[in-house]
Chain A
Amino acid sequence: MNSSQHVARLAAAQGQIDKAPSGVWGGGRLAACLLALAACGGGVPAGNGSGTDGPPTYGSSGPPDYFAMGPDAPFSTAYRGTRMVELYYDAQAPMVYREDVGSDGQGKFSVETLDVLISSDPNTPLFLLLQSQRQALIYRHRDFRIRDLGLFLGNYDYVVAPNPTTVAGVTCDRVQVQARVGAKSRFEVDIDPTTGLVLAWEEYDLDTGNLEARIAFEIYTPDGDLSDMVLIDRVFQTSEYGVHTEDFKQALGFDPLIPKLQPGAGYQLGVQAEVLVVDGENWAKLYLSDGMATCIFMDSVPITSGGVGTGASEKKGEVAIMQVGSWSSLRGTVRGHEVIMAGRVSELDLATVLDSSLR
């Protein structure tokens, strides 16, 4: 990296940091960030940055080694622990609960909500039941994680703080992360450098500086006893195929909708897709990711619809859409396809992606 690029990036970083309210980024922390940025080269491309052709390249230090472990860490690390989960995406209805979480390091896991500490909904038994049924979604999608290292490095700036933190007795690196384009949030993430597992993360709204989510281990036991847990991996019968393969279509029994537009800058359609069998119906499940955030795109042609684009289904070009904080989901029927989507993107982004799959 030449000196002018370095200075420009530092200035840009300072501009972003200055937008956050004081108290979140104190002067000492600001200095520490910039020091770390300069010292570690963290997240600062040496050559091509965002908005240029080709992947970014890094200085000799490069990203920390444990970044590469991020995608698999929750599944390849054997552990058990208790986490405190604080969700403030819906300002009128905060949700705070504790959960018992564990993984056998072989791909199976369990995440069971233990008790609800703050909620405006008094129906705790129902919430616990729902959480139990959603374990796979929660474990795979809720938490900050580097899901694709290449995309993450291309789409996010990061700074590794010079001083380590301690989470549940584990010494962690604190990494501050923010999307390079169109960022709405910034993240503070504590990562165990020996496993790559995220032990704590916080999400802050960039405009208001408000805390939107905080999830942290209170108790963490490597290779903990899982004997009283019911471990799962998949909820539905699932098989994987290349998105654009004939095998995928044959397994589904219909031509899946394939998005042509992405829900945000830097997103890419995953090359692997899944076929899920839910109540005897095949569903195509596609993933779009920017390396950290994920958007799920599912579609199916109901057996009763009489085929794609025929009969009553053809008239049901209608989707319902809902947004909470930085999360949105969509469900509806278009051209005979039932469609379900969700992700850490806006409502408009979801509708745009769906629309692109129909053109």
Chain B
Amino acid sequence: MNRQSIRDAMIESLAGVTPDHPAQGLDKGVDPGTDRLDLLPQAVREHLVENEGLRREWRQLLRQVRAIRTLERVPVPSDLDGRVVASLQAGYRQERAIAHVRALPPEPAPHELDVRMGQSAGRPFAADGLDPGFLKAPAVLDRLVAKRVSSGGGARPQGSPRSTRLMAAAALLVASSLGLMALLGDRSSNLGDDGLEMASFSFRVIRIEDPALAHPDLVNLLGGMSGGALDGRGRVR
């Protein structure tokens, strides 16, 4: 048997290990009662009797399996269902919002907007007495959005005169272009000081605050490189 097949056989034989089998005397040579060589096929056992290195590996496997089997079964967190549902709903809500925005028909900007843009070009928002308040969307937009949401969709707000729709589109354009910096600033302050969410990455970034909710790869790589700095918190809460 080569070393790999011996290892495979050792791993297959671990099924018989229980949490309470004796752990003492591991460093005192072969002890069938401790090393549980009886779990191994005869051919493998003979190799282990002659090879201290293999015995060490076997003992280490035993220790690891014992450690695993001493762990209590961890119940699924009671709020997991809620978190999953909340996460999915949040995702759909965002997609719905994007779909609504994309469904808006193109509207030409009014001439007045060009004039205002030209006036403010090259001037800092807060300089020269320029009132940043004009960047805010008018109250009518709130009403239109509320109406649109309550009506459940449709490409256009129903029953509104064209001039109102035009005003809403223009206001949206102003708010979304000139007010972009302020908007991102607000998001950043809500999401932490590093502004991860506001950066224009080509992928979505989700910050994990609790290691218990992170993918094992994430925890293990960080845990390994930092020497287990994460594990002080506990794995699952």
Contacts and interface: CB of A to CB of B under 8 A. Distances in A.
A130 B56 contact: no
A346 B203 contact: no
B30 interface: no
Contact of A123 (B57, B205, B219, B234): B234
Given A120-B233, A320-B215, 13 more contacts: A90-B233, A95-B229, A119-B231, A123-B235, A125-B67, A134-B228, A141-B225, A228-B27, A230-B56, A296-B221, A317-B202, A322-B207, A334-B202
A12 to B, nearest CB: 27
Given A92-B233, A121-B234, A319 B206 contact: yes
B205 A319 contact: yes
A324 interface: yes
Interface stretch (A62-70, A157-165, A304-312, A351-359): A351-359
Contacts of A89: 226, 229
Contact of B232 (A95, A296, A328): A95
A354 B71 contact: no
Contacts of B60: 132, 230
17 contacts: A85-B228, A87-B228, A94-B232, A120-B234, A126-B235, A129-B68, A133-B220, A138-B228, A141-B224, A215-B227, A230-B60, A322-B211, A327-B226, A329-B219, A329-B222, A354-B201, A355-B201
A142 B230 CA distance: 13
A45 interface: no
Nearest to B201: A355
Contacts of A123: 71, 234-235
Contact of A322 (B195, B201, B218, B231): B218
B94 interface: no
Interface in B9-62: 27, 52, 56-57, 60
A142 B226 CA distance: 5
Contacts of B67: 125-126, 128-129
A39 to B, nearest CB: 35
Interface string A135-179: 011100111000000000000000000000000000000000000
A93 interface: yes
Interface size class of A (residues with CB under 8 A): 35 or more
A322 B214 contact: yes
A206 B73 CA distance: 42
A85 B203 contact: no
Interface of A: 85, 87, 89-90, 92-95, 97, 113, 118-123, 125-134, 136-138, 141-143, 213, 215, 227-228, 230, 296, 317-322, 324-325, 327-332, 334, 340, 342-344, 346-348, 351-352, 354-355, 358-359
A325 B229 contact: yes
A331 B231 CA distance: 18
Interface residues of B, number: 45
B194 interface: yes
A137 B221 contact: yes
Given A132-B64, A320-B218, A121 B232 contact: yes
B123 interface: no
Contacts of A330: 218
A88 B224 CA distance: 15
A279 B222 CA distance: 20
Nearest to B52: A227
A205 to B, nearest CB: 14
B203 A319 contact: yes
A329 B221 contact: yes
Given A120-B233, A228-B56, A359-B202, A142 B214 contact: no
A138 B202 contact: no
User: What 6 A-B pairs come out closest when comparing CB atoms?
Assistant: A137-B224, A93-B232, A134-B224, A329-B222, A121-B234, A317-B203
Nearest to A135: B224
B196 interface: yes
Contact of B226 (A97, A125, A296, A325): A325
A125 B233 contact: no
B21 to A, nearest CB: 15
B70 interface: yes
A329 B234 contact: no
B222 A321 contact: no
B199 interface: yes
A115 B48 CA distance: 28
A215 B235 CA distance: 24
Contacts of A137: 221, 224-225
A131 B228 contact: yes
B223 interface: yes
A126 B69 CA distance: 10
A130 B233 CA distance: 14
A327 B228 contact: no
A317 B204 contact: yes
A320 B235 CA distance: 17
Given A322-B218, A351-B196, A327 B229 contact: yes
A113 B222 CA distance: 17
B202 A320 contact: no
Contacts of A133: 220
B81 interface: no
B149 to A, nearest CB: 26
A55 to B, nearest CB: 28
A122 B70 CA distance: 13
Contacts of B68: 129
B208 interface: yes
Contacts of A347: 194, 196, 207
B72 to A, nearest CB: 9
